Amino acid sequence: MHEISIIESTLQLAEEYARNAGSPGIVCLRIRVGLVSSVVPETLTFAFDVLKKGTMAENATLEIERVPAEARCSQCGKTLRLDKIRFDCPECNGLLILGKAGNDLELESLELL
């Protein structure tokens, strides 16, 4: 469950930024999570709810944006945007080859008090 260490690191980064900005607290964290990043958004939310206690983000919310993946069919060459993981082309049933998009994991923004 690497989501715990992801949230620990994200909270540390957010608190450091908030302190440097002179803010007394964090209102919202926005994270982008790629479809094929191996990160489970529900587990991130659970970890955040547990780990935020006693931090500058104790009353903050976590917003997660899912980033679609891109794939190219090895048979017909069609490029697709995937909102769910699949391995076959919907046009010709050829094998899909994943591109770079969809591996995202980033702290997109913070909203501070």
Instruction: Note whether residue 78 is domain-resident.
Output: no
Is 83's pLDDT higher than 80? yes
Percent of the chain at pLDDT > 70 equals 99
Domain, as residue range, for 30 = 3-69+102-112
Of the candidates 110, 80, 99, the one whose C-alpha atom is nearest the C-alpha of residue 34 is 99
Q: Quickly state the pLDDT bin for 100 (edges 50, 70, 90).
A: confident
Does residue 57 form part of some domain?
yes
Rg of the chain (C-alpha set)? 18
Mean pLDDT of 56-78: 97
- Tokens read off for 111: 């909203």
In this predicted structure, the answer to whether residue 1 has a pLDDT above a threshold of 80 is no
What's the structural domain count of the chain? Answer: 1
- Distance between CA atoms of residues 58 and 72, nearest Å: 42
CATH of the domain at 30: 3.30.2320.50
The separation between the first and the last C-alpha atoms of the chain, rounded to the nearest angstrom, is 31
Stretch 87-100: mean pLDDT: 95
